[in-house]
Chain A
Amino acid sequence: GAVVSQHPSWVICKSGTSVKIECRSLDFQATTMFWYRQFPKQSLMLMATSNEGSKATYEQGVEKDKFLINHASLTLSTLTVTSAHPEDSSFYICSANPGGTQYFGPGTRLLVL
């Protein structure tokens, strides 16, 4: 199957700082990528759809100014959590579709102190 990577795999930061998470498609090009958030022992909730060369589409209730998404190339999308707070601590997972099926990255665990 297709390979999607994420970096970093985990990050700890202080409250008020910004954190950038990268999502890369390693062996295919992705015009669309998806960002999910997963709280402990819960399901994945779609945050936004990242579109190469255009603005991301955010789900209802997701603050676009807080969760900045940039999809500058066909293999890279980034999610920046701005002015992070403890309630932003979560597991962030991205996915991409090389044709018919979404493949997921390994996830990034964010802990905001």
Chain B
Amino acid sequence: AQSVTQLGSHVSVSEGALVLLRCNYSSSVPPYLFWYVQYPNQGLQLLLKYTSAATLVKGINGFEAEFKKSETSFHLTKPSAHMSDAAEYFCAVSDGANFGNEKLTFGTGTRLTIIP
């Protein structure tokens, strides 16, 4: 079984400050890991994904995440927060066994607030 834990249901940062959203996973097989962003009343948009290639993954909107097997972590970062980054962020894991047709398990989400 796989699981994802997102530490901090709410995170507030000042505009221009570093964004750090934490995600730890549990998986019995090499995981595929994803970060999605959700704006109010919308579906999910893929920010980035890790699929066993480079451990540092760069995504859209200046976000990146680093896969650390020893820490079972996949934290999301952005050097400088922008007001438009305010949204809900979800970390998700799959076993990648069926190359995308497997089920995703989501974390509980982190709501990011940007302080002007």
**A: which residues have CB within 8 A of B?**
1, 4, 6, 31-32, 34, 41-46, 49, 91, 93, 95, 97, 99-107, 109
Known A-B contacts A100-B100, A101-B49, A101-B100; the reply to A42 vs B108 at CB < 8 A is yes
Residues 64-93 of chain B: 1 if any A CB is under 8 Å from the residue's CB, otherwise 0? 000000000000000000000000001000
Q: Tell me if B103 and A103 are in contact (CB < 8 A).
A: no
Beyond A1-B46, A44-B44, A102-B34, 14 additional pairs, beta carbon < 8 A: A34-B103, A42-B108, A42-B109, A44-B106, A46-B103, A91-B41, A93-B44, A97-B101, A99-B100, A101-B46, A102-B100, A102-B104, A106-B43, A107-B42
Residue of B nearest to A108 (CB): B43
Give the B interface residue count (CB, 8 A): 22
- Dominant SS at the B interface? loop
Chain A residues with Cβ under 8 A from B34's Cβ? 101-102
Q: Tell me if A106 and B107 are in contact (CB < 8 A).
A: no
Chain B residues with Cβ under 8 A from A99's Cβ? 99-100
Rounded to whole angstroms, the CA-CA distance of A105 and B93 in the bound complex is 19
19 CB < 8 A contacts A-B: A4-B43, A6-B43, A41-B111, A43-B107, A43-B109, A46-B104, A46-B105, A95-B44, A97-B101, A100-B51, A100-B99, A100-B100, A101-B100, A102-B34, A102-B46, A102-B104, A103-B46, A104-B36, A107-B43
